[in-house]
Chain A
Amino acid sequence: MPLPDPANSVHIAGFGQPTGADAYLYRPGSTAEIFDVYQLARDSGRSVSFVGAGRSYGDPMMTHEGMAISLSPFSQISFENDQVTVGGGVTLDHLWRALLPQRKWPLVVSGTARTTVAGAIAMNIHGKNAFKVGTFEDSVVSINLVCPSGEELTITPSDERFHAVCGGAGLHGAIISATLRVSPIPSGGVLVSEATLANWDEQFEWFSGPDADYQVSWVDLTGGGRGVAHLANYAETPIGFDPSTQLPSSKLGSAAGKFLRPMLSQPGIRTVNALKFTSARIKKHATPYPQSLAAFNFLLDAMPNWERAYEPQGLLQFQVFAPRASALALFRELEKLQTKHRLFSTLGVMKAHRPTQMLLDYSVNGFSLALDFRREAGLPALVREMTDASLDAGGKFYLAKDSFLTQADFERMHSQDKIELFRHQKAQFDPEGLIESLQSRRLGLT
C-alpha cells in the first residue's frame, strides 16, 4: 500500500479553534501533481480536503488523517481589461496590492485580506458591500477546477453547477485559478461617515438610510443594540496619503491577543463596550474622514493574532443571516437569550445583504449579525437556543463561520431537493466521494 509520509503531517485547526485534526499536507504545483495526490489518497484509503489560509472558523478544511491540499503554489496574477486571472493560492492581500496601482480593487473582499481566492470562492465570502454587489461569486467570471473525476474543467456562471461550486466548501475539486471582475476605483480610498446608534431601532433605521458603497455596524450586545456604524463611499479625489501604505494597524502589534485576553471576561466585555461606545460619542467625527480601502476593509488584520485572546478555550463565531422582515425581532431575541444565559458576545457586527444565486444560499434579502464568543461552559446551550431561534425566523448560516450546525439544522435551511441536487452535482466532479471534510460529514453533504 502506498503510504503518506509522516513528515508531511500537520495539525489543521479552524481560525481561533483550540484543536483541529492531524492530516497530511501536500502542496502540488501542477495539475498533474494534484492528480497524483488524488491517486495517493485513493490508494491509501484517505479523504482529500483543501486548506486555504485557514481563516474559516470551523472544520471545512480537514479530516482526521486525511490528505489536505494547499494550492499556495498556484500564485499567478494576470490582467486583462477589467478582469484579472488569479491562482487559487493567491491571497486577497496579494491581489489588492497588485490591483491598486491600476486604480482597481476586488469587487468583494472579506474582513481579513489573508483569505485565498480559492477559499473565497469555496466559501463564497462577502464583505461590507454585500447589500450592493452581492457575494464573491458575483465577481467570478470563470473557475478552473481540477476534479477527482480526472477532468480539468472551466466553469462559468452559465453552467448551473457554477452556483454549487461557489459556496460548495471546496467539495468539487481544486480551484486552481479563477477569472474575476474587478472594480475600477477613482482613488485608493474611501470617505467614511460614523454614526453612534442608541438601540436596535436606530441600527435598522441607519441601514435604510442614504445609499453608500459600504455599510457596517458594530453592535453592543450588552447594551440594547447600541453601537457605532460606519458608512463609506469611494473617494473621488486623492485622499491625501498613499492608500497602499495606510494599512490596518494596531499599536499593540502581534501581542494584541495577550493584552485583550483579560477584557474577554463577562464584566470585561461590558466595560470595554461601554468605553468604546462612549468614546465614539465623545470623539464624534462631524464630517466624513478619508481612509484607505485596505484599512477600511481589513479591520480584522488591524490586530495580528487577535484570535489568541480567546485562548485556551478558543473562539466561536455565530453569524446568522436573517430576512428583512424578521431580523429586528430575531436580533432582539438573540440578545435576550444571551442575557438569560449570562453569556455575552465579545463583538457583534451587523451588515446588510441581498440574495444570491448560490445553490446552498446563505445570503438573504436582509441583515446578518456576527457574534464572537469565547468558548466556555454553557456556550453550547446558548448556541443551541440561538440556532433554533434563528432557524425559526427563517435565518441561514454561512459555512465559513459554521462549527456547530447539525445535519438537521442544515436540512431546515435548505430543501431536500437542493441538498440532493448538490450531492448529485458533486458526484459528477467526484464520483468516488474522495473529497470530504469533518464539516461536510457533520452536515450530511458527503
Chain B
Amino acid sequence: MKVIVVGGTSGLGLAIVRELLRRGDTVVATGRNFDQTQDLGDERFFRLVDDVTQLESIPEHFVQATDLLGGLDLIIYSSGVMSDVSIEEFSSEKDIQMIQVNCAGAVAWLNLAAARFQGTAHGCIMGIGSMAGDRGRRGQPGYNASKAYLHSYLEALRNRLARHGVKVVTMKPGYVATPMTAHLDQAKMMSAEVAARKCLSKVGRNGEFYLTPVHFLVMKVIQLIPGFIFRRLNV
C-alpha cells in the first residue's frame, strides 16, 4: 500500500509508520522533526517536513506526498496535541492550538485526500480520534471538543464517500504510552506498538473503533450517564 501518515514522526504516528514499513508498505511520514526516524531506511520511506498549523503549505505537501508514493491508498491523520490544562484554567491559547492541530490540520489534509479518493474511487482515510472525544469532561474541554469535532467530521466524510467505495475509519484510542501522555503514569497504558497494530487492523473498514472491547463498553456506559449525574463525577 501507498500510505501518508500525517504526524508520523513521534508517538502513535511513528509506531504506525514502523508497523507499515515492517509490513512492506511504502510510506510518506510528515512532521517537523525526524530525529526519531533515523534508523528507518529510505527505500520505502519518505520524510516530508510539514507543520499542520501552516495550512497554506498543505496542498503542495499533499501533492508532493502522492508524487513520492506514485499513488495513494491510505492516509492516516495522527497529528494531535493535548495541552496540559489545570482544572481551573481557561486558556484560549492552549485550546486554539489544539483546534489548529487536531481539527484544522486534519481538515486541510483530509479534504484533499477525500477529493482525491472521490475521483479515484478507492482508498481509506483513518483519523486518530480519542475516547476523550465522546463526552465533554471537566479536565480537558478544549481537547474533548477537538476530538469530538474530528469524530463528527470523519463520520460525515464516511457518509459522503461510501458511495464512491472509499472507507473512512475513526480510531478512538484511550491512553497510549506516547510523549503525549509522558506526564502521566504510563505503567498500565497500552504501548504505542500494540496500539499501532490495532489501528492498522481496521484499515479498509468503515466506522468508529476503540482499541479494546473494554474501552468500547466503558464508553458506551459513560455516554449513557445523564448530564446531571455526569457533572458530579470526577472523570
Contacts and interface: CB of A to CB of B under 8 A. Distances in A.
Interface of A: 1, 3-11, 21-22, 25, 44, 64-65
A65 B60 contact: no
Interface stretch (B10-18, B119-127, B143-151, B199-207): B119-127
B121 A11 contact: yes
A5 B66 CA distance: 12
Nearest to A4: B63
A300 B149 CA distance: 50
B227 interface: no
Given A1-B60, A65-B66, A7 B71 contact: no
B70 interface: yes
B59 A3 contact: yes
Interface in B56-78: 59-60, 62-63, 66-67, 70-72
Nearest to A12: B120
8 tightest CB-CB pairs across the interface, nearest first? Answer: A9-B119, A11-B120, A64-B70, A6-B116, A7-B115, A9-B116, A22-B71, A6-B115
A9 B70 contact: no
B118 A7 contact: yes
A44 B64 CA distance: 10
A21 B116 contact: no
Nearest to A10: B119
B49 interface: no
Interface residues of B, number: 19
A44 B60 CA distance: 11
Contacts of A8: 119
Contacts of A9: 115-117, 119-120
Interface string B75-87: 0000000000000
B59 A10 contact: no
Q: Which of A1, A6, A25, A64 has the most CB of B within 10 A?
A: A6
Contacts of A64: 70-71
A357 B113 CA distance: 47
A44 B117 CA distance: 21
B62 A6 contact: yes
B60 to A, nearest CB: 6
A11 B165 CA distance: 12
B112 interface: yes
A21 B71 contact: yes
5 contacts: A3-B63, A5-B115, A8-B119, A9-B117, A64-B71
Q: Which of A21, A44, A65 has the most CB of B within 10 A?
A: A65
Nearest to A44: B63
Contacts of A25: 119
Nearest to A19: B122
A22 B60 contact: no
Nearest to A1: B60
Nearest to B60: A3
Contacts of B116: 6-7, 9, 22
Contacts of B115: 5-7, 9
A6 B115 CA distance: 6
Q: Which of A5, A9, A21, A44 has the most CB of B within 10 A?
A: A9
Contacts of A44: 63
A7 B59 contact: no
A57 B24 CA distance: 29
Contacts of A10: 119-120
A402 B226 CA distance: 65
Contacts of B71: 21-22, 64-65
A4 B71 CA distance: 14
Contacts of B62: 6
